[in-house]
Structure 1
Amino acid sequence: MNRLMALIAALAAPSLALAAPLPADPLGSPMWEFHAQRLFGSAPVVFDSRVAVHMPEIAENQRVFPVTVDARTLPGVKRIVLFADLNPIPVAVDYAPTAAAAYVSTRIKLDQRTPVRAAVLTADGTWHVGGGWIDAAGGGCSAPPVSRVKGDWADHLGEARAAAWHERATGETRLRMTFRHPMDTGLVENIAAYNIERLTIRDESGKALGEMQVGGSVSEDPAFTVLVAASGPIRFAATDSAGLTFAGIAQP
């Protein structure tokens, strides 16, 4: 079972005892304790302004909602988990920036008004949390993808594009990857769950730069932007729940 599936399974597990009390939720979400106990277990949790979650205040399109997580001022980041409290599939992305900055940008679906949060695990075992409430119309996770309605999804399945820009001042490369994929949630009648589950990023030598577990609440035709420590060609590969792999290469 991959890391993201373990997280989702944990959300349905019985309540866990914590070694320390949870901090009070500044957003007042009715689901905060439920998710925190299952995502973080007994690890210490703090709300931290250094976890910057950039997103619109209102979702103009609940199927395609842009979110950027920037935790580059936190030292020793090991994981970034992006989740929406009131989504039926809460966890959208679980990203391990192996040789990358603590930064990830993507687009997610929203099923109703909900807190959208990022939880960042640092090397000392502490989870740092940031986020905010988002106003959204209902149905982002339970409406059929546009490509399903048009009927052309299979003609373009797996088409991958990427671009990379190397920044000499920082030594980092900004990498943006896009894939054609319906990202079915399984919540639409007669359409089974079918989504990209894993994304790996490597440099020219094969060294791991980052690995991401992806959930069905990421938007149709997903896009991901990361900052990696590489200046040469970057290879990436996405694997979906049917076992298909879609690979590509980007040259800064």
Structure 2
Amino acid sequence: MPLAACLALAAAGAWASESRDPLQSPQWPLVRKEALQQAPFVFDSRVKVTGPAFAEDPMRVPIAFDASALGEVDRVVVMVDRNPIRKVLEFEPLKVRPSLSLRFKLEQASPVRVAARTPDGVWHVGGVMVDASGGGCTVPGATRRDGSWSTTLNRVESRVFPGLGGAGARVRLRVMHPMDTGLVAGIPAFHVESLNLLDATRQAMLRLTLYEPVAENPIFSFDLRGAIERGMTVTGRDNNGNRFAAQVTP
């Protein structure tokens, strides 16, 4: 392990354990290999993850995380140990706080993990256990069942709220999309692949890479470090090449 990574592990010692999984999941070694590969990691309670004890709707499970206590974070990965498609999203908080709330599909009771990477290359892993009745990834969504998805496809809605403690601003985005997993007979995978928030000069403020388990008509809430600015836009595309763009208005 590189020296910088060893030092980071030592510094996190009061909060973290390098290898003992607090959620005791036998799937964790495979999840780690898929999502983090061979990079160093620690289980770290400074990565705050909140979710329901039981998912009332396994197709729209709310989850939120905040890795601000780590300081600078360059990438975040959200994954679900027991989903047939484990990776939910990747998040680059370029000019926003490393925190996000979203909804995702849950196939069965599972640990939900959030791994945040600091600039020294160490992944800091938090998580929560969410129970469920199951089936979130393998049944069609509401707009797919009633056929309404085609009339609203890639429509973007945004709202702006006061930020934490009155500082900055909180932005909520909703993208209308069926987010098909490809695990329902006769319905191929069809989902948003990327979503970017750009400032008035077209510089990226955040980047999201989305995977099939993100919920239908996904909603994301995140916190800007400063006030909302005129000219901010949201852009993105799905895996069929459809693109969308919309302005975020104060």
TM-score by length of 2: 0.88
Q: Does 1:184 align with 2:189?
A: no
Amino acid at match of 2:158: A
For residues 90-116 of structure 1, the C-alpha deviation after alignment (integer angstroms, 9 at most, x for no partner) is 111100001110101100000001101
For residues 81-140 of structure 1, the C-alpha deviation after alignment (integer angstroms, 9 at most, x for no partner) is 111000011111100001110101100000001101100000111100011211111210
Q: Does 1:32 align with 2:28?
A: yes
Give aligned pairs, total. Answer: 232
2:196 aligned partner:
200
Pick which of 39-48 and 56-65 moved more. Answer: 39-48
Q: Does 1:141 align with 2:146?
A: no
2:109 aligned partner:
113
Among all aligned residue pairs of Structure 1 and Structure 2, give the percentage whose two residues are the same amino acid.
36
Question: 1:173 & 1:213 partners in 2: Cα distance?
Answer: 22
Q: Does 1:58 align with 2:58?
A: no
SS of residue in 2 equivalent to 1:138: coil
Deviation of residue 165 (structure 1)?
2.9
CA contact (8 A) 2:179 2:217 kept: yes
Question: 1:55 & 1:224 partners in 2: Cα distance?
Answer: 15
Amino acid at match of 1:145: G
2:238 aligned partner:
240
Instruction: Provide structure 1 residue ranges, at least 5 long, that are not aligned to the other structure.
Output: 1-21
Instruction: Provide structure 2 residue ranges, at least 5 long, that are not aligned to the other structure.
Output: 1-17
CA contact (8 A) 1:209 1:229 kept: no
Which of 211, 218, 229 is matched with 2:207 structurally?
Answer: 211
Q: Does 1:154 align with 2:150?
A: yes
Amino acid at match of 2:243: T
Distance 1:158 1:167, change over 3 A: same
1:15 aligned partner:
none
CA contact (8 A) 1:197 1:213 kept: yes
Amino acid at match of 1:248: A
2:170 aligned partner:
174
Distance 1:229 1:205, change over 3 A: farther
Distance 1:182 1:197, change over 3 A: same
